[in-house]
Structure formats: C-alpha cells, structure tokens
Structure 1
Amino acid sequence: MAAGSGSIALAEKLQGLNGLFAIHKKKGPTSADVLNLLKTKLLKVVGIGKGTKMLSGMLSCSKKYTTVGELGKATDTLDALGMVTEEQSYDHITKDDLESALKKFAGNIMQTPPLYSALKQNGQRLSCLVKKGKAVEAKPARPVVVFSLSVQDYNPPLFTLNVECGGGFYVRSLVNDLGKELSSCAHVKELIRTKQGPFTLDEHALQEENWTIDEIVKAVESCTQLVSSDAAHKKLKTNSQEITEQVEEAD
C-alpha cells in the first residue's frame, strides 16, 4: 500500500510539471516508436504540460551529430535502412579529398531534404507516402547552416564526421551530397545526435531503463532549469550585442 501511495504521489507531481527533458533514442526504432513506448510506460509525452509548446523552439536550436558514412553505396532512404539504389567505386578517394570536399558544405548552404523524412505533403509525412507507393514531390532546396564540420576518422569505405548545424538540417542529405561531390556515392550507416540546444547526450539524455516517474520528475526539473538558464544567457548576450551596436553607431 505504501509503495502504491508513493507512485500516486509521484504521478501527481508529474502531472503538475511543465517542461521537457531529453531521452536517449537507441539505434533502430524511429522517434515515433520511442515516443509510443514512453507513452505506454507512463501515459505521458516527452514534453510535459506547457513544455510541449517548447519543443518546436528546441528543435530549431543548434544540434551536434556524430555520423558514420559508407562510401560506394547509395540507398533510397539515404541511410542503412533503405534499399541500395547505386554502387560506385571509392578507391580514388583520400582523406584529404574528403576534408577538402567538406569545406563546400560548411556555413550557409542550400540543401535538398530527403524524400524519406518527416516533412509533409498535403498533411501527411513524406516517408509514409513513399512507403505506401504514393507519388511524392521532392521538396526544393532550402537554406540551412552548418557551424562546424570535421572528419573524425577515415577507414574506407567508412568515414566518421562530427557535425554542428542549425534546425532543418539533414545529415543524410549531407552524406549523400558528399558522396556525389567525391565522384562516388554514400549513405549514412550510423547517426548519433550528441547535442540538442543545451542538452547533451552524456549529461542530460534519460536512458530507457530510467523511464520511471521518479526519474522523469528529476529530469524535467533539471532540464527545465537548464532551458531557463540558457534562455537567460541568450537574452543577456543579445542585449549586450544591441548595446555594443548602439555604442558603435554613436561613435
């Protein structure tokens, strides 16, 4: 009875929370799969209360990824889950070639999103429409920003990249375009998001074995405080920049 009362108390505390928290998504399941599993376990969503309204803003923040690409093979989904659509030689590609090609994808660039994506056509996700065999119009290239891009490892046909980018950027498109730039083809073999806004994988992402009401209450409180601190820091930085610009204009 005592344990049940404790669970009820924690559930009521969770109900009263407003915020969001980070979770670790394992390789394989989609984001929707992970969310459904979390709902099944807790009957709650990742963004809690007013925190759900914060998610869209969080997704537009800068992100960091570590990705392993594979040269010589292209797939219809641009990752290892898809069907191979093309094979080309990669023997001519050196690490210097890879690093040189990466320079063309840094900064403010135009990028075409993948057909298999969460972007929508007539209210339905492109990925769902493609799987159903429906006709899908490719989305036009759009502006994205890449803050940093570097080669962590090169062991042909595999290469590992560290990427820091803004919202709306697709690492799968980057690797696909990079393969073409190198006169070959490539797809994403592995992809890990290591940072989203102020959240880092090592420090803030809640592992599946810790998806309990108690741990989520702690995570929401901690992450919400982190978001508030980050927002205050950005506001201070913006105000400082505005003051500097005003002083420069006055001079």
Structure 2
Amino acid sequence: MARRRKGRDISGWLVVDKPAGVTSSAVVNKARWALNANKAGHAGTLDPEATGVLAIALGEATKTVPFITDALKAYRFTVRLGQATNTDDAEGEVIATSDMRPTDDDIKEALSGFLGDIMQVPPKFSAVKIDGQRAYKLARADEEFEIAARPLWVEELILNDRPDANHVELEMVCGKGGYVRAIARDLGEKLGCYGHVQRLRRIWSGPFDAEDGITWDQLESMARTPELDAYLRPLEQGLADLPEVKATAEGATRMRNGNPGMVIAHNVEFGEECWASFEGEAVAVGVYKAGELHPSRVFVKA
C-alpha cells in the first residue's frame, strides 16, 4: 500500500523572488512547508547566488512544469571583464586574467554572434551528467572531462550599461537550458579579455515576473496563514503558451478518465498540442484531433 503524502491537497503556482545565498531546493522546501502542501516542485533551477523568479508548482500544477521550463526566460546580469574563473561566476577561483578591455562597440558586435540558434558548452561546475555523474562533482574532484555542446535559442542579448571598464551589464532572453555563466565565459573569450558572471537575476520566466513574486521574508512571515494562500496563482497560468479549447460536459468527463473527449476549438490545427478547459478549470493537456482532445496529462479536481 502506497504511503499517503502529508499536507494539504492544494494546487497552483507560487512565484518567489529568490534571494542570493539560498538554493532553489531550499526555496521549494520552504514554500511546501509554509503552505503545508503535499506536493511541490519548481520550473527551472537558479544558482544559489542568483536572484529572481523561481516559479513553484504545487499539487496538480506540477503537471504543467514542462511548459514553463520550455518557455522563454529573461535574465539581467553583470559580467566582470578581465578575469576567468573555474566556475564561470564570482564564487570560483580566478584562473586567468587580462589587462585588455574591449570598447562598447566591440562588445555590441560580439553579442550579435550569440543570437539565434547557437551551440553552448555548459560550465564544468553544473548539474549536467557525465557518464551518470554530475559534472560539478567531477570538477570538485579535479577530474578531467569534456561536456558536449548543446543547442540554445537566444532571442535577445543586449548591452544595458557599462558602469566602468571592468563591468558590463547585459540582458538576455533565451529558451530552455541556457547557462548565463557560459555566455559570460564565451563572450570574454571572444573579446580576448576573459569574463565571468558577477551578478545574475532572472527577471521573468514564461508568464511569471520577478516583480510580482513574494520575497523570502514574506514567505517566512506568512507561513501557515491564509494570507499566503492568497498569493497562489491558478495552475492554468502554467499553460499560458498553449492554445485553449473548450470541453463539453461529456467531453470533460471522458478526458478526466483518460479518454479522448469532445471539445470546441477555434484556430487550432489537427495534431496541435493544447489544453482543454471546462467551466474555467483545466481538464487536460493533449493533442487535438478531429473535434476531440486526446489527453496526455489529466488534472484531478481537488
């Protein structure tokens, strides 16, 4: 007999503006405890020293996590020029230096080479798996290994400010799996001066904005109170990038049992992934075929 999870059966999204010095897992655990929720997860890890949007899914909303993970995200970050570190951020050891400093025009020209579909090698201090082991564990053990380049879509990468010769402030919009530390590292190499991330903030992720998130202090002060529940967003927000179709009453019942159900659809193509709602609530995600949604994920009503 399976063990029943402790906590409330609540579903939705809680957007936290993560502070520096706290791991993403710690924020999820704190939110789960604060809401007394029986199930929680997040849509996209932030490094411990990074700040900004950490979207936490609760209950049935965890089934929508892949759609936020796959969505575009925006970052603001500061690159320290003239230094490379072994972690590609300010937490690591400096392993190379340069006195050369590029001009603003040099930087803008170099940034244009990072737009569109690019191939990116993740940092060695990352959670990428190498032969079943995390890369950061191998790096800490001073083992020699290579990480294969991975595709990344970069929609925007711009120079926001140049406060002094050693620092540039950039903003990037990218797709799934991007490492800002790798952008800083590769930019420094392209400019011939080295570089690493000094500060990093995720300003939005899919439909969620950092400025709308609650702070760590608010999460602690409102824990186990109705005031914190008021910050929960409906799980349907995690489906914002998918087209919506309307289920009939009979169709909703069939889909909740895992079967294809009749829907009313507008501007949806045959074979397109979408989500079905009934009376304003998400019923299922699936593929639209000839007037029916064939579900791949079904949402259970509390």
- Bin for the TM-score computed over the shorter chain: 0.7 to 0.9
Q: Is 1:74 paired with 2:84?
A: yes
Unpaired runs of 5+ residues, structure 1, are 1-11, 244-251
Unpaired runs of 5+ residues, structure 2, are 1-5, 41-55, 246-265, 271-302
Higher strand residue share? 2
The aligned amino acid for 2:25 is: A
TM-score of the pair, normalised by structure 1: 0.79
- Taking only aligned residues, the RMSD between alpha carbons, in angstroms, comes to 2.7
Aligned to 1:6: none
Whether the 8 Å CA contact 1:21–1:223 is kept in 2: the answer is: no
Structure 1 consecutive aligned stretches of length 4 or more whose deviation exceeds 6 Å: none
**Quick one: which of 159, 173, 180 aligns to 1:151?**
159
Aligned to 2:52: none
Q: Deviations over 1:68-92 (max 9, x none)?
A: 000000111100011111111233x
Aligned to 1:217: 229
Distance (Å, rounded) in 1 between the aligned partners of 2:268 and 2:97:
50
Aligned to 2:9: 16
Whether the 8 Å CA contact 1:65–1:163 is kept in 2: the answer is: yes
Aligned to 1:173: 182
Residue 50 of structure 1: SS of its match in structure 2?
A: helix
Q: Is 1:29 paired with 2:22?
A: yes
Whether the 8 Å CA contact 2:11–2:234 is kept in 1: the answer is: no
Distance (Å, rounded) in 1 between the aligned partners of 2:126 and 2:120:
14
Q: Deviations over 1:204-245 (max 9, x none)?
A: x2211222243442233x2524334443469xxxx74859xx
Q: Is 1:107 paired with 2:116?
A: yes
Which range moved further: 172-181 or 57-66?
A: 57-66
The aligned amino acid for 2:16 is: I
Cα distance, 1:77–1:215 mapped onto 2, change above 3 Å? farther
**Quick one: which of 50, 57, 65 aligns to 1:47?**
57
TM-score of the pair, normalised by structure 2: 0.66
Cα distance, 1:224–1:71 mapped onto 2, change above 3 Å? same
Q: What's the % identity of the aligned pairs?
A: 30
Length, aligned pairs only: 224
The aligned amino acid for 1:86 is: A
Residue 15 of structure 1: SS of its match in structure 2?
A: coil
Q: Is 1:231 paired with 2:270?
A: no
How do 1:83-232 and structure 2 match up within 5 A? 83-91=93-101, 93-131=102-140, 133=141, 135=143, 137-154=145-162, 155-203=164-212, 205-211=213-219, 212-213=223-224, 214-220=226-232, 222-232=233-243
